[in-house]
Amino acid sequence: METINTDEPVTPAGRLFLQAEMNQIINCAIGVKNTLDIDAVKSEITTSIMLKQPRFSSLLIIDSHGREHWRRTQVNVDRHVIVRDEPVTNGDPSISQEDAVNDYIADLAVSSPLSTDKPLWEVHLLMAHNCLVVRLHHALGDGISLMSMFLTICRKADDPSQMPTIGGVGTSLASSGGQRRKWRTALWRALLVVWYTLVFVVEFLLRSLWLKDSRTAVSGGAGVELWPRKLATAKFRLDDMKVVKRAVAEATINDVLFGVVSCGLSRYLDIRSPNALQDGIQMTGLSMVNLRPQPGLQDFSKLLDSKSGTRFGNQFGMLLLPVYYHKGGSDPLQFVRRAKAMIDKKKLSLEALFSYKIGYFVMSCFGAKLAGLLNYRIVCNTTFTISNVVGPREEITIIGNPVTYLRANTSSLPHAVTVHMVSYAGRADLQILVAKDIIPDPQLLARCFEDALLEMKEYAEAANTTRKEK
């Protein structure tokens, strides 16, 4: 393999994901309607914008001082495309297509690191299942970067000449009242920002030292990242989530998602350990937050422009998002209201930015090993990981083949449960990766999440009907 001697240092965030304690690979499942054309896939990759992005055509090199660098190389696409002609059901005809693909990815999440003798990505073609499994090291970029890049090779299903629509959903506050009221509101908001930032940053630091969640039936811990995994999918309709969103004043889809996760975990714990938990016990989620000025998916050309302020790569902070165990009550929307109240406080704080700056400071002054250890402790001291990436709003094609689903998850962490949601064309799939010796029945957990949303929707519709009758 011929190399070109131009080395680029790996960014601090990228170095974090290369540490043994936090080594993270993103596994994306892309289902398509028709049989995959192997030659067309290879040709598309060869000419795609992906290989024009330096990190995707570079080897990871570690110098004599232990510092990681990217070194440009010639890419042999044949080494990156792995074709599986036979079904991945291990000969069991009772396994569904979805479960077979999930089992395949669950095995990859623990036992299959990416080889460092080629750039850190590969594409598995599961021919019998009409599925591409794209594996990308998290050091290459975050979910926003990678989804924005992926969409450059896709086209709208109803107009093949057009790329999919991108764009984030922003929030705004309506202004009212005179200048004095505005001044008072701004002052009060500034005081809240300072207070919440102080409180949440202190908690973040304590989580990296000794503060941890109480033990429950879904708790992980040090070493759990090495345990075998199982993967299940919870399926939602975005219209159902929007019904719930409209029933809670000024709520967002993220508020609804977090309310569903909170309610679903409570339901699952009621089944696994009935009457064993005290009402209100805290379970803390760890979430990555996009720090780019523009929310949502990005124009990929701007991600490649160093002057745009929305650079490609990993540009995120971390938030600690607590949920609380509650037995089922008469109003499931309470879970969404509690989630919204908590997330609103997080939005007012600078916790995500401080977590990024703290990580950068530790990485720069004390090295990657200490930064990786502190982040590993934060994961060990919390209960679950959660993320939500907005996908295309309309149906799309890849290499002319209609896409049926988009799903994503990462390699295993010390958490016993991680949940990653990707929305696509009015649907949202939540991938639930679990340590199977702790959570042996992830399909039950998936149903708890699905039932939680449906119950919330029914309650929201009933409440809306009652208001109209009055």
Residue 399 in any domain: the answer is: no
- Catalytic residue list contains 80: no
Give the pLDDT score at 306: 60
Residues 140, 192 within the same domain: no
Residue 174 in any domain: the answer is: no
Cα gap 204→16, rounded to integer Å: 17
Q: CB 400: neighbour CB atoms within 10 A?
A: 13
pLDDT tens figures, 269-281? 999 987 778 888 9
Q: How confident is the model at residue 177 (pLDDT cuts 50, 70, 90)?
A: very low
Strands (E), 197-315: 229-237, 282-290
Classify residue 302 as exposed, middle or buried by CB count within 10 Å of its CB (0-12, 13-18, 19+): middle
Give the pLDDT score at 308: 58
Q: Which of 138, 326, 415, 420 is catalytic?
A: 138
Cα gap 401→403, rounded to integer Å: 6
The distance from CA 8 to its chain's CA centroid, rounded to whole angstroms, is 27
Q: Mutual orientation of helices 333-348 and 442-469 as an angle, nearest 10°?
A: 100
Residues 356, 456 within the same domain: yes
Give the end of a domain, one of 156, 177, 197: 156
Mean pLDDT throughout 14-30? Answer: 89
Q: How confident is the model at residue 300 (pLDDT cuts 50, 70, 90)?
A: low
Classify residue 368 as exposed, middle or buried by CB count within 10 Å of its CB (0-12, 13-18, 19+): buried
Q: Pairing mode, if any, of strands 417-424 and 384-389? A: parallel
Give the pLDDT score at 120: 95
Inter-residue contact 24 to 108 (CB < 8 Å): no
Give the pLDDT score at 114: 92
Mean pLDDT throughout 325-352? Answer: 89
State the total domains in the chain. 2
Is it the case that residue 409 has pLDDT exceeding 90? Answer: yes
Give the end of a domain, one of 108, 140, 156: 156
β-pair partners for 288: 318
Is it the case that residue 466 has pLDDT exceeding 80? Answer: no
Domain around 331: 186-391+412-469
Q: Who contacts 113 (Cβ-Cβ below 8 Å, separation ≥6)?
A: 23, 25
Residue 318 in any domain: the answer is: yes
Give the pLDDT score at 369: 86
Share of the chain above pLDDT 70, in %: 89
Residue 172 in any domain: the answer is: no
The distance from CA 336 to its chain's CA centroid, rounded to whole angstroms, is 20
Residues 201, 146 within the same domain: no
Give the pLDDT score at 182: 57
Residues 237, 102 within the same domain: no
Cα gap 228→242, rounded to integer Å: 36
CA atoms within 13 A on the CB side of 271: 14
Residues 285, 427 within the same domain: yes
Inter-residue contact 312 to 13 (CB < 8 Å): no
Residue 171 in any domain: the answer is: no
Residues 368, 439 within the same domain: yes
Residues 53, 114 within the same domain: yes
Residue 464 in any domain: the answer is: yes
Give the pLDDT score at 174: 35
Residue 406 in any domain: the answer is: no
Is it the case that residue 180 has pLDDT exceeding 50? Answer: no
Mean pLDDT throughout 115-136? Answer: 95
Amino acid occupying residue 353: L
Residues 127, 231 within the same domain: no
Burial of 213-246, coded b for 16+ CB within 10 Å and e otherwise, reads beebebbbbeebbebebbbbbbebebebbbbbbe
Q: CB 316: neighbour CB atoms within 10 A?
A: 21
Give the pLDDT score at 3: 46
Is it the case that residue 246 has pLDDT exceeding 70? Answer: yes
CATH of the domain at 58: 3.30.559.10
Give the pLDDT score at 41: 95
Cα gap 271→442, rounded to integer Å: 13
Give the pLDDT score at 2: 46
CATH of the domain at 227: 3.30.559.30
Residues 269, 205 within the same domain: yes
Give the pLDDT score at 171: 33
Residues 151, 262 within the same domain: no
Residues 444, 326 within the same domain: yes
Residue 178 in any domain: the answer is: no
Residues 107, 218 within the same domain: no
